[in-house]
Amino acid sequence: MAKTLGSPQHKTFIALLIEMREGAGLTQTELASKLGEYQSFVARLESGQRRVDVIEFLKLASVLAFDPHELLDKVSAVDTPHA
């Protein structure tokens, strides 16, 4: 399996999460507080240095009030090169 960090789908995923955070009117620090994390957690996530596990993703969806299914549908629609 190809590495996913930095892939077109991963970049789209991160861009959408940033869009959701900004759309909610939250700074990285404010989002981190709502998640019970440090700002650096959100910074690493948004810079693509860190993966998001399923439970974290669902918590982000809850805090940022977005439908996780819709976001994943958008990520799934991104073309990826076949190995």
C-alpha span between 21 and 62 (Å, rounded):
11
Q: Closest by alpha carbon to 29, among 20, 18, 40, 19? A: 40
Q: So what's the pLDDT on residue 66?
A: 97
CATH number corresponding to 8-75: 1.10.260.40
The residues spanned by each domain of the chain are 8-75
Q: So what's the pLDDT on residue 81?
A: 62
Read off the pLDDT of residues 4-19 as tens digits, 9 standing for 90 and up. Answer: 888 999 999 999 999 9
pTM: 0.88
Read off the pLDDT of residues 35-83 as tens digits, 9 standing for 90 and up. Answer: 999 999 999 999 999 999 999 999 999 999 999 999 999 999 998 665 5
